[in-house]
Structure 1
Amino acid sequence: MFRATTSRAQKGPPVHQPDVPALTAADPDVAALVQGEAQRQFEKIRLIASENYVSRAVLEATGTVLTNKYSEGYAGKRYYEGQQFVDPIETLAVDRAKALFGVDHANVQPYSGSPANLAIYLALAEPGDTVMGMALPAGGHLTHGWSVSATGKWFNAVRYGVRRDTGRVDLDEVREVALRERPKLIFCGGTAIPRTIDFAGFAEIAREVDAVLVADIAHIAGLVAGGAHPSPVGHARIISTTTHKTLRGPRGAMLMSDAEFAKPLDKAVFPGLQGGPHNHTTAAIAVALGEAARPEFRDYAHAIVANAKALAEALVERGFDLVSGGTDNHLILVDLTAKGVAGKPAAKALDAAGIELNYNTVPFDPRKPFDPSGIRLGTAAITTRGLGVDQMPQVAEWMDRAVRAGAEDDAAAVAAVAAEVRELLAGYSMPGWA
């Protein structure tokens, strides 16, 4: 687990780590942008729920000569020679995923979460089949059958949402829709769900209508691995996840499943949707899974949730309206209607104030998706930096000041918050910047 440290005097200016001298010499324009991004990440409170900081080891793995190698196929069954080291790396990543999550099968080749979900459709459904997922405005994901996604265009997508009075999933409604529509696949999970997902409840409904339950745990995989959220294993027959977010790995994805779905899922990933896997990413996934298996990662996962709960409570005390009233995980969804400001201008004011998050629709939002009523934030990255529950009231106070300053077009007040944020973060180390 990364821990907060006191900044030490540097012999020279801070730089990206690992250092990039060859890049600096060959392409100073790109190198300068990389350095700028590293400094930006160091100086801001990063609250985007889908982002995190990876370890120095994960960073190094993604920058290795493994990026030079093509490896179409799977370990022991490749279409290119020269796999003597790639095969053990992929096998190690697969074995670590299976052990960490307790699953029969794992595929670590999907390039990202959306292609991983598309592979599930390709493996188990035909165009026109009925599939079911959470509606995007309620917190679901595009690939769970939303209309602008291929999954909503090629399949008969039916959707469930949340209750207007509680902001939570109503399993009675889910069951009603499932019994009426008889979907082949049911997705649970999403991108803006602040509450615990009832995998057992979804599984009971899936069994009743003879559907395959898919748990998309992209946001909560690290919490599941660390025991801070119930596991879908034993309930969902297929699990998809990204490998970054709370799992704190590189930008990639995994599919995990019962043994009976191993072959169709593998065939759907390759050759169904992809060519060669990104071997440097596979190695970094292996490293991240190894880190997540350590005892200290459990402490980290629980600290993420503790920070989210503390931040949620502090925001409520300052008059922010939280969807569902709070959070059970890393994620907080805020409806800013009562504050008299929309999500987009609030997010931009917060960014200028050194607090990075995203504007987001909220359930039953009367505003358009590109100019919604809410903001979404998460606590994984700030927990990685070492911030704890004692700092969450201060973060909430800064957010409150920045939102008000933005609404009043008070640039000086916004800049003052940004300066205070930089001062605080100077005392917390960041992997990738030294």
Structure 2
Amino acid sequence: MGTPDSTSTPFWGPDFAALQQSDPDIAEVVLGELARQRGGLQLIAGENFTSPAVLAALGSTLTNKYAEGYPGRRYYGGCAEVDRAEELAVRRACELFGAEHANVQPHSGAAANLAAYAALLVPGDTILAMSLPHGGHLTHGSRVNFSGRWFHAVAYGVRESDERIDYDQVGDLARAHRPKVIVCGATAYSRLVDFAAFRQIADEVGAYLMVDAAHFIGLVAGDAVPSPVPYADLVTCTTHKVLRGPRGGMILCREELAGRIDRAVFPFSQGGPHMHTIAAKAVALREAATPTYRAYARRVVANAQALTQGLQAEGMRAVSGGTDTHLALLDLRAIGVSGGDAESRCERAGITLNKNAIPFDPVKPMIASGIRVGTAAVTTQGMTETDMKEVALLLGRAARADDDASLRDVRAAVAELVSTHPAYPRR
């Protein structure tokens, strides 16, 4: 692979040259992924581009340190510096989100959910959460996941009439099943969640309210959507996606749950934390506290709405009629294309997105009637609502194309567009 300028990018530094020398195969993979990210449109709703500063923390010597336990209470010596990193991350998380307590050690959003359940439940307890086919998550009670195997999971969904959460159904199910935990939050639901309504239902049945904010916590940080923190007993989230940090998880909770949450993370469900990742989380949280980031978060939503409108003009029906967040779910049945085919064609055209089931989908999930798109990454690149109109046109062309020549034409147009808004620009 020709990479004459590979070491001139702002985040590799001299260590990448060492990787090229010691393991050229992996170096080629890393450079290949960099080229893929630079050369196409990244519309996966849960993906973004971290800053060079976040990448620098991830690639630091903090990866060498074992630090089981918590700051000031470690099981290993030599933790003074990593203690500072974790304390900064915790303090910044609490300040940014107005939380009473934060645990920044979970390795992922799923790990954060596991710890949250462990803090509040015992096997066999009942949880009430959003149905996976209607936009929920595997860890919200799917039978193939620990959450559905260890707990009695009851699912609520959206109304068929408008594809929005049926709060009457949530209340009826809560009263009928008396869950110990009610979970709200989703991976493929584009509308704002009424946290006050969930809080009222949880109080009525004596349940804990857990908000899985993995997808939208970055929008909360940027004041682009309402915060669940004042309403929830605990909030789980990821630190990547819109928040633009490293891949990882985090839990925010009320002070009275702090000890239970901390013990559920360590020692119950995890051992040594990834201190390089925690440092990178601290960097991202500091970045998210700036006016620049708040402007970014608002642009993410505006771009998502513009992209959704453009895709509707291409004949794709927006589930629930639109979006209030960073993502949209599109029903492709009107254009005669499955979600699986659209994903494959778009990838060949340099547009990365995912097939996705729609509520009440008549076909299997691996085929799917819809696609899910998100605007976090393209907004990080500096794209605007005007650019989203062009993205919608290109996506529509790619989804309908069934020949290589048409897809090559779209790919060329995609390359031209992203060249004016490069990810990780060369210096």
Name the TM tier (shorter chain).
over 0.9
What is aligned with 1:238? Answer: 234
| The one of 160, 171, 186 aligned to 1:164 | 160
Asked if the contact 1:59–1:432 (Cα under 8 Å) also holds between the matched residues in 2, the reply is no
Structure 1 residue 433: Cα displacement: 5.5
Cα deviations by residue, 1:192-245 (Å, 9 ceiling, x for unpaired): 010001111111110011000001110001100101110001101100000000
In structure 2, how many angstroms separate the alpha carbons of the residues matched to 1:432 and 1:154? Answer: 47
| The one of 50, 60, 63 aligned to 2:59 | 63
What is aligned with 1:18? Answer: 12
In structure 2, how many angstroms separate the alpha carbons of the residues matched to 1:56 and 1:13? Answer: 17
Write the letter of the residue equivalent to 1:210.
G
| The one of 209, 223, 234 aligned to 2:205 | 209
TM, length-normalised to structure 1:
0.95
In structure 2, how many angstroms separate the alpha carbons of the residues matched to 1:238 and 1:118? Answer: 13
Greater CA drift, 424-433 or 168-177: 424-433
In structure 2, how many angstroms separate the alpha carbons of the residues matched to 1:165 and 1:231? Answer: 27
- The 5 Å alignment of 1:342-353 reads 342-353=338-349
1:190 aligns with 2:183: no
Asked if the contact 1:54–1:248 (Cα under 8 Å) also holds between the matched residues in 2, the reply is yes
Write the letter of the residue equivalent to 2:5.
P
In structure 1, how many angstroms separate the alpha carbons of the residues matched to 2:193 and 2:346? Answer: 29
Write the letter of the residue equivalent to 2:204.
E
Aligned residues: 421
In structure 2, how many angstroms separate the alpha carbons of the residues matched to 1:262 and 1:131? Answer: 21
| The one of 382, 407, 423 aligned to 2:378 | 382
Write the letter of the residue equivalent to 1:99.
E
What is aligned with 1:36? Answer: 32
SS at match of 1:85: helix
What is aligned with 2:397? Answer: 401
SS at match of 2:50: coil
SS at match of 1:173: helix
In structure 1, how many angstroms separate the alpha carbons of the residues matched to 2:161 and 2:261? Answer: 39
Asked if the contact 1:54–1:431 (Cα under 8 Å) also holds between the matched residues in 2, the reply is no
What is aligned with 1:309? Answer: 305
| The one of 403, 410, 416 aligned to 1:423 | 416
Structure 1 residue 66: Cα displacement: 0.4
Unaligned runs of 5+ in 2: none
SS at match of 2:330: strand
Asked if the contact 2:38–2:424 (Cα under 8 Å) also holds between the matched residues in 1, the reply is no
Asked if the contact 2:225–2:325 (Cα under 8 Å) also holds between the matched residues in 1, the reply is yes
Greater CA drift, 237-246 or 362-371: 362-371
- The 5 Å alignment of 1:251-262 reads 251-262=247-258
| The one of 58, 69, 75 aligned to 1:73 | 69
Asked if the contact 1:42–1:433 (Cα under 8 Å) also holds between the matched residues in 2, the reply is no
SS at match of 2:80: coil
| The one of 273, 284, 287 aligned to 1:288 | 284
Write the letter of the residue equivalent to 2:108.
S
In structure 2, how many angstroms separate the alpha carbons of the residues matched to 1:398 and 1:358? Answer: 16
Asked if the contact 1:38–1:433 (Cα under 8 Å) also holds between the matched residues in 2, the reply is no
Write the letter of the residue equivalent to 1:424.
L
1:413 aligns with 2:406: yes
TM, length-normalised to structure 2:
0.97
In structure 2, how many angstroms separate the alpha carbons of the residues matched to 1:251 and 1:34? Answer: 17
SS at match of 2:235: strand
| The one of 356, 361, 378 aligned to 1:365 | 361
Greater CA drift, 48-57 or 137-146: 137-146
SS at match of 2:355: strand
Asked if the contact 1:175–1:205 (Cα under 8 Å) also holds between the matched residues in 2, the reply is yes
Write the letter of the residue equivalent to 2:128.
M
SS at match of 1:239: strand
What is aligned with 1:354? Answer: 350
Structure 1 residue 389: Cα displacement: 0.4
Write the letter of the residue equivalent to 1:397.
L
Write the letter of the residue equivalent to 1:360.
N
In structure 2, how many angstroms separate the alpha carbons of the residues matched to 1:195 and 1:397? Answer: 24
What is aligned with 1:279? Answer: 275
In structure 1, how many angstroms separate the alpha carbons of the residues matched to 2:396 and 2:291? Answer: 36
Structure 1 residue 372: Cα displacement: 1.1
- The 5 Å alignment of 1:46-195 reads 46-195=42-191
Asked if the contact 2:354–2:371 (Cα under 8 Å) also holds between the matched residues in 1, the reply is yes
Structure 1 residue 431: Cα displacement: 2.7
Cα deviations by residue, 1:347-398 (Å, 9 ceiling, x for unpaired): 0100111111011111011111111111111000000000000111111110
In structure 1, how many angstroms separate the alpha carbons of the residues matched to 2:189 and 2:224? Answer: 15
Q: Give the fraction of aligned pairs with identical amino acids, expressed as a percent.
A: 53
In structure 1, how many angstroms separate the alpha carbons of the residues matched to 2:331 and 2:261? Answer: 38
Asked if the contact 2:130–2:156 (Cα under 8 Å) also holds between the matched residues in 1, the reply is yes
- Moved beyond 3 Å, runs of 4+: 11-17
Go from structure 1 to structure 2 and tell me whether the alpha carbon gap of 1:96 and 1:206 turns closer, same or farther (over 3 Å shift): same
Unaligned runs of 5+ in 1: 1-10
Structure 1 residue 12: Cα displacement: 4.4
